[in-house]
Amino acid sequence: MTSQQVLPRHVAIIMDGNGRWAKKRFLPRLLGHKAGVKAIERTVRAADAMGIECLSLYAFSTENWKRPEKEVSGLLSIFRFVLRRKVEEMKQKNVRLRFSGFRDGMPKDVVELMEWAEEETRSNTGLTLVPCLNYGGRQEVLHAVEKLLVAGAEPPLTEDAFRQFLYLPDLPDPDLIVRTSGEKRLSNFWLWQSSYSELYFTDTLWPDFDGKELENAVTYFANRERRYGALK
């Protein structure tokens, strides 16, 4: 990547392939998720060094509750461990933590940790890191509509007015969405916000993702011509 390349303001990543990474190595799926945490650490460092403003990570979808109870419990334990251990480091590195997703239904102690992490890093001015926990794009839109109805909003309704009822209304839309492991779909991620996102797919399994992979995705983005529906 050269200094002349245009950086995406917000990079969003669908972190896919932890289970397949573990299976290839004859390891339990949970060890794949733990390896995925290391990939998150590498990617956060790389995004921060590049000067990317916002990095969002699809960490746990609303559909993930359907996974085996043991795996879900293990994922929640990893979230707890990472939050307790990494917030101080993020404070020192000027990284701000914000979470997107529906908090009702999440374990109370996990929600309390999320709120604590957000408050501890609120004044940081560097990279904004947005883990999406219990997140679903359709669910977010439905919740926004519910809030609109409660607020008594009347037509005509503008996009800017609707945006105010999303989970993080001030978050910039993702310029670039990256999906790992060779799958080529959004899987209910940032459905409202992804209208004009560039999409980048890599066969790399998430635990093997690193700064070089992120650089490849950003270089792809820099070479795209973004038209927003206009003629060339």
**Catalytic residue annotation:** 16, 64
Cα separation, 92 vs 11, in Å, equals 22
Nearest of 152, 178, 146 to residue 165 by alpha carbon: 146
Determine the number of helices (DSSP H) and then strands (DSSP E) in the chain.
7, 6
Give the SS3 label for residue 134: strand
Residue with tokens 């993080």: 168
Contact 144, 166 (CB under 8 A): yes
Distance between CA atoms of 84 and 98, rounded to whole angstroms? 15
Q: What is the rounded CA–CA span in Å between residue 191 and residue 186?
A: 8
What crossing angle do the helices spanning 211-222 and 29-50 adopt, rounded to 10°?
50
